[in-house]
Amino acid sequence: MTYADVYRQWQQDPERFWMQAAEGIDWVTKPTQALNASRAPLYEWFTDATVNTCWNAVDRHVLAGRGKQPAIIHDSPVTGTRHVITYAELQDRVSRLAGALRAKGIGKGDRVILYMPMVPEALEAMLACARLGAIHSVVFGGFAANELAVRIDDCTPKAIIAASCGVEPTRVVHYKPLLDAAIDLASHKPAFCVIFQREQEVAKLTPGRDVDWHEFQYGVEPADCVPVEGNHPAYILYTSGTTGAPKGVVRPTAG
């Protein structure tokens, strides 16, 4: 089947086309309708279904016998390191992180800002939020304190997950002082912050607010996937803000 054939099928019967595409998803409750146009022009997708993104990205592959296959290959020429994480390892890491977040009160609908570099732990944090039905918002690591503060006030996160630093070819970017300054500037204050300490820089934690990534997860009960509605927000991604205030774009789970 060519691209033209696929495109023609979509043109002829878009509802049938997307319902067939949806068969590739593991649903908790299967959809009976693809496009919900009842609130047009605010269209919604698969609103009568329930699903979990983390299950589809991780758990179902372990269940299918692919647990030993690589899920993440992180090859960093900057730090000279290479890590391979299998689906089974990723499932274990994500479920434990989700369990730790749940133990601190994070649940469906709560917002969590991620202020991290491009490391596997950032992916684990995204998936852990999705596992619980929490809504994550990735903020570019190294953004100035004021830019981060604007997003904190708009998103009103219950928690922030951050790294101690970022590593660039010629310098180490100190994330933690930027995070501290942003929280001081913001009107909204997160309940807690989880800090992933990198070997290039160990940051000073703020007592009563900050928790260490590894200590935070010690002894917790792993969390199972929480089903959410098809139109439940998966994440908020902000525009750059170069032409005005940053605008949060909300991505639905099954949209």
Over the stretch 19-64, which tens digit does the pLDDT of each residue have?
999 999 999 999 999 999 999 999 999 999 999 999 999 999 999 9
89 and 31 belong to one structural domain: no
Provide the domain count of the chain. Answer: 2
38 and 57 belong to one structural domain: no
Contact 167, 90 (CB under 8 A): no
36 and 133 belong to one structural domain: no
231 and 137 belong to one structural domain: yes
129 and 236 belong to one structural domain: yes
pLDDT digits (tens, 9 = 90+) for 159-214: 999 999 999 999 999 999 999 999 999 999 999 999 999 999 999 999 999 999 99
pLDDT digits (tens, 9 = 90+) for 99-126: 999 999 999 999 999 999 999 999 999 9
Q: Is the pLDDT of residue 245 over 90?
A: no
118 and 21 belong to one structural domain: no
64 and 20 belong to one structural domain: no
247 and 174 belong to one structural domain: yes
42 and 56 belong to one structural domain: no
Range of the domain at 28: 1-48
Q: Is the pLDDT of residue 142 over 80?
A: no
